[in-house]
Copies of this chain bind each other. A is one copy, B any other.
Amino acid sequence: MRHGSADLVPPARRATIKEVAEAAGVSRSTASRALTGNGYVAESVKQRVRQAAADLGYVVDAMARSLKQQSTKSIGVLVSDLRNEFYAHLAAGASRQATRLGYTTMLIDDQGEAEDEVAAAEAFVALRVAGVVATPISAAATSFLLRQRIPVIEVDRRFSDGACDAVVVDNRGSARAITRHLAELGHRRIALLIDEDDWTTGRERREGYLDALGAAGISHDRGLVVPAGWDVEAAKEAARDLLASADRPTAIFAANNVLAEGAWRAATELGLRIPDELSLAAFDDAPWMSMVTPGVTAVAQDAAAMGRAAVQTLFERIADPAAGTRTIVLSATLRIRGSTAAAPVGQERDLPVG
């Protein structure tokens, strides 16, 4: 052990309010009032107590406080994969909004595993968080939290429709718009790369896709709706198989940014020229989509805004637990870039109506 001057060596134990009170020559009650600002304290006493607290390096013990108050100033945020920029932006938006409102954020990344999700929910309950913002992967976590009387906001996708509030984008409408855009360019064989049908996102995006096909008078070819897994590698495989087939599609609509990356890589590796030989459009705009040549046409969701809105909604729910549940639908923007163009003529079977 090295020696140092006394004022630089922190005390072995952290100061408690009792020690602050003694240093200031008042009772614990008075010290508490002086520090929190609740109740009557003489101004001079308040100053003395605060000075004593500063001298001792006192920081309130949030555990003890919330144990007594039976409430915490922290919320839980549960996302599937922080490495996916969509979730990262969502978490950033939620976390910043929570900080702004004086709350701290417990963040858990459930790695897309349902068990981890339930474990995360239990951790949130143990920590008695004031509420949870989650991108659910099953109904289990949400219903567990709701049973424990913890408000939950589902973001991006819904599993507990009506049982809790939600913040989503207009998946169906946006998917319809993007598919219509491809149809208007003359594409008749438009493939949909999709992750998961259990999720409302996947389901609604597929519905929007089908809506637009129907509206354009294009008959639905089941083989063009391709389950493409969860990661870039799997999506690339799926896209490669699709693009290597004899009657390959002239356009691909990838239902999220990961699948779009897989599709892009597959097309690049196969040497398919975009948009001459293949048009590509995506749900979820990602930075790379505006950096590659040509840029990728995409529906841009403001993930950070979704996170902010979710936290906002959560606080409204906390303020009024009895209010009816709400679903906030944010709009998304279609960004048309160079990756979508008129369908190659040779591959057409029919000419588009419009």
Segment of A31-39, A54-62, A171-179, A242-250 engaged in the interface with chain B: A54-62
- CB within 8 A of A104: which of B67, B89, B123, B149? B123
Q: How many angstroms between the C-alpha atoms of A149 and B57 in the bound complex?
A: 11
Q: Does any Cβ of B come within 8 Å of A184's Cβ? A: no
Given A108-B104, A109-B92, check contact A126 B293 (CB 8 Å): no
Contacts of A261 in B (CB 8 A): 287, 291
Q: Does any Cβ of B come within 8 Å of A203's Cβ? A: no
Given A61-B128, A63-B67, check contact A95 B107 (CB 8 Å): yes
Q: Are A88 and B83 in contact (CB under 8 A)?
A: yes
Contacts of A181 in B (CB 8 A): none
Given A72-B63, A88-B85, A88-B88, check contact A127 B104 (CB 8 Å): yes
Contacts of A123 in B (CB 8 A): 104
- Which A residues, 99 to 147, have Cβ-Cβ distances below 8 Å to chain B? 99, 104-109, 111, 116, 119, 122-123, 125-128, 147
CB distance from A237 to the nearest CB of B (A): 17
Q: Does any Cβ of B come within 8 Å of A167's Cβ? A: no
Q: How many angstroms between the C-alpha atoms of A92 and B88 in the bound complex?
A: 9
Q: Are A147 and B10 in contact (CB under 8 A)?
A: yes
Contacts of A64 in B (CB 8 A): 63, 67
Given A88-B85, A107-B105, A265-B291, check contact A126 B96 (CB 8 Å): no
Given A14-B149, A88-B88, check contact A96 B109 (CB 8 Å): yes
Given A105-B108, A108-B99, check contact A148 B63 (CB 8 Å): no
Q: Are B92 and A127 in contact (CB under 8 A)?
A: no
- Which A residues, 295 to 350, have Cβ-Cβ distances below 8 Å to chain B? 304
Q: Does any Cβ of B come within 8 Å of A226's Cβ? A: no
Given A59-B122, A104-B106, A106-B105, check contact A83 B304 (CB 8 Å): yes
Contacts of A105 in B (CB 8 A): 106-108
Q: How many angstroms between the C-alpha atoms of A211 and B217 in the bound complex?
A: 65
Contacts of A126 in B (CB 8 A): 59-62
- CB within 8 A of A96: which of B63, B85, B111, B265? B111
Q: Does any Cβ of B come within 8 Å of A215's Cβ? A: no
Q: Are A95 and B67 in contact (CB under 8 A)?
A: no
Q: Does any Cβ of B come within 8 Å of A91's Cβ? A: yes
- CB within 8 A of A10: which of B62, B88, B127, B149? B149
Q: How many angstroms between the C-alpha atoms of A82 and B303 in the bound complex?
A: 12
Q: How many angstroms between the C-alpha atoms of A108 and B77 in the bound complex?
A: 12
CB distance from A214 to the nearest CB of B (A): 33
CB distance from A145 to the nearest CB of B (A): 11
Given A10-B149, A62-B128, A63-B72, check contact A95 B122 (CB 8 Å): no
Cβ-closest 4 pairs across A and B: A288-B288, A82-B92, A107-B107, A88-B88
Ordered by A's residue number, 24 sampled pairs between the chains whose C-beta atoms are within 8 Å are: A10-B148, A10-B149, A57-B147, A60-B126, A63-B72, A64-B67, A67-B67, A77-B107, A82-B88, A82-B91, A83-B88, A83-B89, A85-B88, A88-B88, A92-B109, A96-B111, A99-B109, A104-B108, A261-B287, A261-B291, A268-B293, A288-B292, A291-B292, A292-B292
